[in-house]
A = this chain, B = another copy of it.
Amino acid sequence: MEETAATAAVLLIGDELLSGRTQDCNLAYLGQRLAARGIRLAEARVVSDEEEEIVAAVRALSGRYTYVFTTGGIGPTHDDITAAAIARAFGRRLLADPVAEERLKKYYGADALSAPRLKMATVPEGSALIDNRVSSAPGFRLGNVFVLAGVPVIMQAMFESLQDQLQDGAPIRSRSVTAPLGESRLAEGLADIQRRYPDVGIGSYPFVRASRVAVSIVLRGTDEARLDGAATEVAALMQTLGIAEADIERN
């Protein structure tokens, strides 16, 4: 696929994702929403709640991609260490942010600002706050790193509040062509289409439906006409294999 201007990485932070206790759904959400803005999500990592792991991953990803989005570890408990790790990754001090404190005071009440709650107003020096319309405790941005909550509904609200901070590119669109065929029967024709459409990313995703093998061919790129051209060729290829009319789904 043609390289778009902006790239991104996602860093999912939390033991619960690696133990299998929690099924992540933040990665798929961010992948879809970034593609819609023309930002290619190039890599993701999942690390445990260990400061050295977070520091190393943030440094590696921040140097390599336009944007890094982290999720998780910004709550009030002892296992929430993301802010400290980001501060260390960039050699910054952790500071109490008065605006964040004000928001927490409004949410919890002035008398109820305990030390754990105040911890959620502590961010690396030089950070810009990211709004949390759900439960007030903010995320923050430092350089090209956006630090978001792990709870999906909060993460999503935070991400959506960032829209004007992210560079726009041509949205990455897709077409899907699905048929009850084994993918190996399509492989040679598909490779030929891929050669002639180097600007379109073509993926083949087999699945089983009602005990029958089937495949979705997914085409991704920024040029709608080229996508339609390649998708039409995939449908025609399926027709040569006995599929009367393959549906082309546009996304």
The answer to whether A203 touches B20, judged by C-beta atoms less than 8 angstroms apart, is no
A170 within 8 A of B: no
The answer to whether A187 touches B77, judged by C-beta atoms less than 8 angstroms apart, is yes
For A135, give the chain B residue with the smallest CB separation. B213
Instruction: List B contacts of A201 (CB < 8 A).
Output: 15
Given contacts A47-B43, A187-B78, A204-B79, contact A20 B30 (CB under 8 A): yes
A21 within 8 A of B: yes
CB distance from A45 to the nearest CB of B (A): 5
Instruction: List B contacts of A135 (CB < 8 A).
Output: 213
A171 within 8 A of B: no
CB distance from A190 to the nearest CB of B (A): 6
In the assembled complex, the Cα of A153 lies from the Cα of B207 at a distance in Å of: 10
Instruction: List B contacts of A108 (CB < 8 A).
Output: 184
The answer to whether B187 touches A116, judged by C-beta atoms less than 8 angstroms apart, is yes
Question: How often does this chain occur in the complex, in copies?
Answer: 2
A240 within 8 A of B: no
Number of interface residues of A (CB under 8 A): 68
Given contacts A116-B188, A184-B116, contact A205 B20 (CB under 8 A): no
Interface string of A199-230 (1 = CB under 8 A from B): 00111111110000100001010000000000
Given contacts A15-B220, A19-B172, A29-B20, contact A76 B42 (CB under 8 A): no
The answer to whether B19 touches A77, judged by C-beta atoms less than 8 angstroms apart, is no
Given contacts A20-B32, A20-B35, contact A76 B27 (CB under 8 A): no
The answer to whether A22 touches B15, judged by C-beta atoms less than 8 angstroms apart, is no
The answer to whether A28 touches B32, judged by C-beta atoms less than 8 angstroms apart, is no
In the assembled complex, the Cα of A215 lies from the Cα of B46 at a distance in Å of: 22
In the assembled complex, the Cα of A30 lies from the Cα of B188 at a distance in Å of: 33
Interface string of A105-144 (1 = CB under 8 A from B): 0001000001111011000000000000001000000000
Given contacts A116-B188, A203-B79, A204-B79, contact A31 B18 (CB under 8 A): yes
CB distance from A23 to the nearest CB of B (A): 5
Interface string of A170-203 (1 = CB under 8 A from B): 0010100000000111111011001000000111
CB distance from A71 to the nearest CB of B (A): 13
What are 7 A-B interface contacts by the 8 Å CB criterion? A14-B203, A15-B201, A18-B41, A19-B218, A20-B30, A43-B45, A119-B187
